[in-house]
Structure 1
Amino acid sequence: MPPNLTGYYRFVSQDNMENYLRALDINVALRKLVCLLKPDKEIIHTGDHMIIRTLTSLRNYIMDFDLGVEFEEDLGPVDGRKCQTTVYWDGDQLVCEQRGEKRNRGWRHWLEGDQLHLRMTAEDEVCVQVFQKVK
């Protein structure tokens, strides 16, 4: 049985965000700004339905999806692209595959104790973020 990720998580750290954003062709000014952000994550996990909110002072991004069902994801707020996205469980990791203009694009969420880990990939770049569960 996969874990229930429901909770509110505060940003702790990140590694390699600049190179990850460069792989997504984000302009240098926006890259610098995004690297300064400390996003919170709110996850609502009910059966096969999930809502993941990434909350920042700049803008928020909300994913609302059913596990295992492909959908068109509008990444306009992130990088102006759309892609075909599928989110599913791989053991105790929540995996997102985003098919579109960029190869190897997607992410994984998993828990280690009360910390939520996020590994994002695009092309050959990997960015890792860590969040602390606060409620």
Structure 2
Amino acid sequence: MAVNICGLWDMVSNVNFDGYMIAMGIGPTTRKIALKLKHRKIIEQMDDQYIIKTLSTFKNYSLSFRVGEEFEEFTKGLDNRHCKVGFSLVTWQGNRLVCTQKGEKKKRGWVHWLEGDKLHLELYCEDQICRQVFKKNG
């Protein structure tokens, strides 16, 4: 069952982001900067399309997709690589929005879900899992 994860969310915790970025192949300079940032997420839904914007004072990234439709994803704007991630597929699995990514890295994707008034996000790549928690703003 789909839940409403839309809104403006501010990061309150970020565990193992460095390990995740290393698994992604992100260089040390970008990782050092990224670890100091507090991300903000804006999640919007327009009809059957979701838009997830990740905002910070360093870089912004926007991802647009339709649940159940495979799409091509590029990392430009996130870690400034011009490589293609491959194909991604986002589905609802119970109350979790799950993205499976096929491409340059093995076992890569993310999961969003609500727990109380907090939005949880797990980012995973190969053997690394980053756990982020966001609190609704407003």
| TM-score between both structures, scaled by the size of structure 2 | 0.93
Q: Give 1:22's aligned amino acid.
A: I
1:99 paired residue number? 102
Unaligned runs of 5+ in 1: none
| TM-score between both structures, scaled by the size of structure 1 | 0.95
The CA deviation at 1:47 is 4.4
2:129 matches 1:130 = no
RMSD between aligned alpha carbons? 1.1
Aligned equivalents of 2:22, 2:8: Cα separation in 1 = 28
Give the ranges of 4+ consecutive aligned residues of structure 1 lying more than 4 Å apart after TM superposition.
none
Bigger mean CA offset, 116-125 vs 37-46? 37-46
Equivalent residues of 2:39, 2:54 under 8 A apart: yes
Q: Report percent identity of matched pairs.
A: 44
2:57 paired residue number? 57
Equivalent residues of 1:98, 1:106 under 8 A apart: yes
Unaligned runs of 5+ in 2: none
- Count of matched residue positions in the alignment of Structure 1 and Structure 2: 135
